[in-house]
Amino acid sequence: MTQRARNRRHGTNRRASPAPAAAASANHLLGLHGLSPDVIRSYLQLAREYSAARTVKPVLAGKIIANLFFEDSTRTRTSFSIAAMRLGAQVVDLMGAGSSVNKGETLIDTATNVEAMGVAAVVVRAKQSGAAAMVAQRVRCAVINGGDGRHEHPTQGLLDVYTIAESMNRLRTFDLSGLKFAIVGDIVSSRVARSTIAALNALGASVICVGPPSMAPGSLAAMGVTIRRDMDAVVPDMDAVMMLRIQFERAEAAAGTKGESLVTKAPGLASVREYRAKYSLTQERADTMKAGAIVLHPGPINRGIELDAPVADGPRSVILRQVTNGVLVRMAVMAKLCGRVG
Contact residues: ligand CP, CB under 6 A: 73-76, 147, 153, 156, 298-300
Q: Is 195 helix (H, G, I), strand (E, B) or coil?
A: helix
Nearest distance, CB of residue 82 and ligand CP, angstroms: 13
Nearest distance, CB of residue 161 and ligand CP, angstroms: 14
Rounded distance between C-alpha atoms, residue 83 and residue 51, angstroms: 12
Q: How many CB atoms lie within 10 A of CB 273?
A: 11
Q: How many CB atoms lie within 10 A of CB 12?
A: 23
Q: Which is nearer to ligand CP, 76 or 81 (CB)?
A: 76
Q: Which is nearer to ligand CP, 144 or 234 (CB)?
A: 144
Q: Tell me if 48 sits within 8 A of 170, measured CB to CB.
A: no
DSSP 255: H
Q: How many CB atoms lie within 10 A of CB 310?
A: 12
Q: Tell me if 225 sits within 8 A of 235, measured CB to CB.
A: no
Q: Which is nearer to ligand CP, 300 or 310 (CB)?
A: 300
Nearest distance, CB of residue 71 and ligand CP, angstroms: 8
Nearest distance, CB of residue 191 and ligand CP, angstroms: 8
Q: Which is nearer to ligand CP, 115 or 152 (CB)?
A: 152
* CA separation, residue 342 to residues 24, 145, 159, 334, 339 (Å): 20, 20, 19, 11, 9
Sign of the CA dihedral running 46, 50, 51, 53: positive
Q: Is 280 helix (H, G, I), strand (E, B) or coil?
A: coil
Q: Tell me if 124 sits within 8 A of 110, measured CB to CB.
A: no
Q: Which is nearer to ligand CP, 108 or 323 (CB)?
A: 323
Nearest distance, CB of residue 307 and ligand CP, angstroms: 14
Nearest distance, CB of residue 177 and ligand CP, angstroms: 26
Q: How many CB atoms lie within 10 A of CB 102?
A: 9
Q: Tell me if 151 sits within 8 A of 22, measured CB to CB.
A: no
- From first CA to last CA, the distance across the chain in angstroms is 11
Q: Which is nearer to ligand CP, 71 or 239 (CB)?
A: 71
Rounded distance between C-alpha atoms, residue 300 and residue 271, angstroms: 21
Nearest distance, CB of residue 75 and ligand CP, angstroms: 4
Q: Which is nearer to ligand CP, 299 or 339 (CB)?
A: 299
Nearest distance, CB of residue 229 and ligand CP, angstroms: 26
Q: Which of 282, 290, 271 is nearest to 306 (CA)?
A: 282
Q: How many CB atoms lie within 10 A of CB 136?
A: 28
Nearest distance, CB of residue 77 and ligand CP, angstroms: 6
